[in-house]
Amino acid sequence: MKVFSFTHTGNRDVNQDYVTSKILDENSAVFVLADGMGGYSSGEIAAKVVADAITEYTDQHLNEVAPAKVLKQAISYANDELYVKRLALGYKEMGCVIVCLLIVNDKAYIAWLGDSRIYVFRNGTLLFQSEDHSLINELKSSRTLKPQDFERLSAIVTKCVMGTEELDQVDVYELTTEQGDTFFLCSDGIHKEMIVEKLIRLNEEELQNHLEIFSSSFDDNATLLKVTL
């Protein structure tokens, strides 16, 4: 596996995006991108607590249950860890959105909550893209949206990790992988500003240069994790 990671604060004062990954054994690895929620307390802390907890739990329990189940359990564990951290810090609300990728042998297990995304490419062609858990997406099916609606509602997510007693339902998407498959995990600071499908054409040096040139002008933190099998 080849892993490329990039993050930038954009025009924000603090980078509330956080990425972590771990090789679990010769054929298994876990990758997590978390984006702290603006408007709540210490989003950068929430993102780190949740992402590290998911990685830690998956590492410790992968061989105990099926991979899809361990990923769900890991996210639930991370929610509990954020609950403890929130109480310790005395905050009323903390939260983050997440996207997770677990590779086990020739299978990929994908889970997400919120509007951070994962794109899967095979032979340069988009194979899968996660659908945002966002108010915009929910409203699209019920009424016609005006341009001002997109601007006003674009940042509102309907699922996230907030360290509360009840966690939003987590679905796990499973696919059989092939050699050369490429996964892009990215925060909304990337996919709202860039056409991710075009990034697959760039090698890592070109991708690094491209992201460095443009991300400094972005309104939001911008983070991308590229995993190639």
Dig out the tokens for 183 from the structure.
Answer: 């996964």
The whole-model pTM stands at 0.92
Cβ neighbours of residue 159 under 8 Å, at least 6 residues apart? 97, 113, 114, 133, 168, 169
Where do the domains of the chain lie, and which CATH numbers do they carry?
A: 2-132+159-228 (3.60.40.10)
What 8-state DSSP symbol labels residue 134?
A: B
Examine the pLDDT at 146 and tell me if it is beyond 80.
no
SS3 200: coil
Contact present, 117 and 157 (Cβ < 8 Å)? no
CA–CA distance, 105 with 27 (Å, rounded to integer): 5
- 30-85 per-position pLDDT tens digit: 999 999 987 787 999 999 999 999 999 999 999 999 999 999 999 999 999 999 99
